[in-house]
Amino acid sequence: MAGISPSLFNFLSDLTANNNKEWFDSNKPRYLEEEKKFKAVCTEIFNGLQNTDQIEKMKVYRIYKDVRFSKDKTPYKTHRSANFTREGEALRGGYFLKIEQGNCLMGGGFFQPNPADLLRIRKEFEMDAEPIRAIMSDKTFSKSFGSEFVPYNQVKTAPKGFSKDDPAIDLIKNKSFFFEHQFTDEEVLSDNFSEKVVHHFELLRPFFDYMSEILTTDLNGESLI
């Protein structure tokens, strides 16, 4: 298993200080070499995940930014990231990895699910929130991910059709259902970093298994697939 090369941090640091096309073009060989090494680590993670889960695809995100609708017109991302998508309708969800000096993390879950899935998840929490709370409060799980969803985007009070006084409103008001774990730079540079990432991805399996069950059944528990 492998870790991230220190030279990737060096490249991203230099890019942060010189985020323009001229500098990037002149340093293209550096970028291509770092991208090759980063993709090799991601491939190790992908292969490790396949031992305990079914992963449909791995995507390493482009370093080039889409600046059409952004106030920040710098053309390049100053981090590297990848996504690992679980296979098919029966599983769903995905794992995420971000490499940025001082802000390296892995995560997993359901980011902005489609309206039908979002409603199904919310209705399940409204009906019975104990299973998800048991997963989130598990000692091993909460030590790695905390005991609540990352608040990427939430409604301010309650979604339409739900009561703001519902005991599970802290869960229901989320629009995404995602957990994260931060890594230190030292962990990222260690020789067994990809193994650490796979380990933390595996810790998310109780959550994924539960959510897959929700999204493949109706509120009566009848299979939808």
- pLDDT, one tens digit per residue, over 189-205 is 999 999 999 999 999 99
- What pLDDT does 89 receive? 85
Position 105 confidence tier, pLDDT thresholds 50, 70, 90: very high
Question: Whats the size of the chain, residue-wise?
Answer: 225
- What pLDDT does 153 receive? 86
Q: What is the C-alpha to C-alpha distance for residues 137 and 146, in angstroms, rounded to an integer?
A: 8
Q: What is the C-alpha to C-alpha distance for residues 40 and 19, in angstroms, rounded to an integer?
A: 25
The reported pTM is 0.93
- What pLDDT does 1 receive? 63
Which two structure tokens, joined as six digits, stand for 2? 């492998």
Mean per-residue pLDDT for 120-139? 97
Q: Report whether 49 contacts 84 (CB < 8 A).
A: yes
Mean per-residue pLDDT for 58-77? 92
Max CA pair span of the chain: 60
Percent of the chain with pLDDT over 90: 89
Sheet of 55-60: strands edge to edge?
A: 55-60, 80-86, 94-99, 104-110, 177-183
Higher pLDDT, 34 or 91: 34
pLDDT at 137 over 80: yes
Lowest mean pLDDT among 2-6, 101-105, 213-217: 2-6
Which two structure tokens, joined as six digits, stand for 125? 């929490």
